[in-house]
Chain A
Amino acid sequence: MYGKGLLKGLSVTGRNVFRKRLTEKYPEEKPQLAARWRGGFQLDVNECIACSLCEKACPNSAIKLTTEKNEENKKQLASYELNQSYCLFCGLCVEACPKKCLRFTREFETATYHKEEVKLDLFKNQNLSASASIYAQPEKATEAARKEEK
């Protein structure tokens, strides 16, 4: 009978009408993002040893940092800029950091009104209050973070 296939298909659609809704009610309900989410960045300036490995790891030269000598003649960070408009969010910088002080955050609403805000000045604004991602962090730290979440 012509139209039998259509009816068979409609029965599938009919069954799905009564299925649990899958759509997230964003922005009222915020999504649960993965623990390794690569959203924004944070930098613990006190931990940073100004080795510029992150700058060298970056495929797109999105990171620009300058260093200076302090009173004890030790190298320290003088400025740190991450231009997100060139960033691939590949994570190679975070993986390269020996002190694990450059980290991803689990932010996702990163759209801005002004193009100047796309550049992150992580020296002035370390963004440490944002929820940190466990991407490329040592096992111990990630376990602690998981416990805290629970």
Chain B
Amino acid sequence: MKTQTYTLNLGPQHPSTHGVLRVVLELDGETCVGSKTHVGYLHRGIEKILEDRTYPQVIPYTDRLDYLAGINNNLVYVQTMEKMMNIEIPERAEYIRVMLAELMRIASHMVGIGIYIMDLGAISAVFYPFIEREKILDMMAHLSGSRMTFNYMRIGGLAHDIHSDFKPELDKFIVEFPRFIEDYHRLIDDNEIFIARTKNVGTITAEKAKSYGLTGPNLRACGVKHDIRKTNPYGIYNRFDFEVPVGEIGDCYDRYVVRMKEVEESFKIIQQAYKELPDGPVMAKVPKLIKPPIGDVYHQTENPKGVLGCYVVSDGTPKPSRVHFRRPSFNNISIFDEIFIGHKIADIIAILASFDFVLGEVDA
């Protein structure tokens, strides 16, 4: 019998491409024989816009890169600027920054895990993580007045000190969260359907992951112990005690396991930072008009999705000459075209979901 392959467009409007990613698949029956990923449907030209903004005005735009973890994007930019201008920030601000960055890491992983498992067909498994995320977003609203686009960090510290409504909610979260982790492991870890859909699916070797520039949980799932918080600590991360969890074979199941373990480590850091939270100001003395010296600085931090880098070029004026972000999701999805080949469509959905990428960050 004569057969032929056919082309299938997965996305850009498809719920399991998590936004507007378009993958053109060449299929032989159900099996993928060729794939081409297209990006750019959410391109807003943020880096170009930033050339016409003053240095403090850049911060609200960073929230809109990885919109599931806005605080972490604020952090990389303000730390880059502090490096450029040699600003020491107050201890209290450092501790609050770490606490918030880790809270947002949990919130982001809650979406990552929840949506992942929903894409595999389990509906109730998305609601439990979202309940926990909701608590974190409410806490953030008490601090910054907004639930997703915070604009909370400033060059030299924070916009305001924490609000009195924040602490009781954090106390409650610290009590309730371990219970959620325990429940979720019971719900998912041994689930036969989940295991059948994810074990040995989308396996990536450590060499291949490194050659494609994968970072974050997707890289660690392949067994590479690489976390900027440990290898090149920024801020005050060297003061905290935490592990860097790694996976074994880099399949979809490992990516789930690594994220769950990471959430627990983040929870440990939050507890330590909260216990040691010092009193004092949250803003250093910074000139009203920010005019950094001529030069360029690169700085990177560990975002929930991977290594987020920020490169700023200053020409001595109040506006940056160039701002560039190394967005982890963009590098992470570059491996798709290679690993999709040989998989069935249902497996491709599982791989897409397990990568937890955000299109706001891919296209910028």
Distance from A65 Cβ to chain B, minimum over Cβ atoms (Å): 18
The interface-forming segment of A43-51, A70-78, A85-93, A117-125 is: A85-93
Distance from B165 Cβ to chain A, minimum over Cβ atoms (Å): 7
Residues in B with CB closer than 8 Å to A37 are: 141, 145-146
B44-87 interface with A by 8 A CB criterion? 53-54, 56-57, 59-61
Interface readout for A5-34 with B: 1 if CB under 8 Å, 0 if not?
A: 110110111011000001000000000011
| In the assembled complex, A104 has its CB within 8 A of some CB on chain B | yes
A107-150 interface with B by 8 A CB criterion? 133, 135-136
A interface, size bucket: 20 to 34
Q: Cβ of B192 and Cβ of A2 under 8 Å apart?
A: yes
Q: Cβ of B187 and Cβ of A34 under 8 Å apart?
A: no
User: CB-nearest residue of chain A relative to B141?
Assistant: A34
Q: Cβ of A3 and Cβ of B192 under 8 Å apart?
A: yes
B interface, size bucket: 35 or more
Distance from A12 Cβ to chain B, minimum over Cβ atoms (Å): 5
Q: Cβ of B191 and Cβ of A36 under 8 Å apart?
A: no
Measured between alpha carbons, how far is A60 from B356 in the docked complex, in Å? 31
Measured between alpha carbons, how far is A57 from B54 in the docked complex, in Å? 9
Distance from B63 Cβ to chain A, minimum over Cβ atoms (Å): 8
| In the assembled complex, A4 has its CB within 8 A of some CB on chain B | yes
| In the assembled complex, B188 has its CB within 8 A of some CB on chain A | yes
Q: Cβ of B190 and Cβ of A88 under 8 Å apart?
A: no
User: CB-nearest residue of chain A relative to B140?
Assistant: A34
Q: Cβ of A5 and Cβ of B195 under 8 Å apart?
A: yes
| In the assembled complex, B131 has its CB within 8 A of some CB on chain A | yes
> Given known contacts A33-B141, A35-B165, A59-B60, is B187 in contact with A9 (CB within 8 Å)?
yes
Q: Cβ of B61 and Cβ of A11 under 8 Å apart?
A: no
Q: Cβ of A34 and Cβ of B165 under 8 Å apart?
A: yes
Residues of B within 8 A of A (CB): 53-54, 56-57, 59-61, 124, 128, 131, 134, 138, 141-146, 149, 151, 159-160, 163, 165, 183, 186-195
**8 examples of A-B residue contacts, CB within 8 angstroms:** A13-B124, A33-B141, A34-B141, A34-B165, A36-B145, A59-B60, A88-B60, A91-B151
Residues of A within 8 A of B (CB): 2-6, 8-9, 11-13, 15-16, 22, 33-38, 57, 59, 88-92, 95, 104, 133, 135-136
For the complex of A and B, 8 pairs with smallest distance between CB atoms = A5-B190, A90-B60, A59-B57, A36-B145, A38-B145, A34-B141, A9-B187, A90-B151
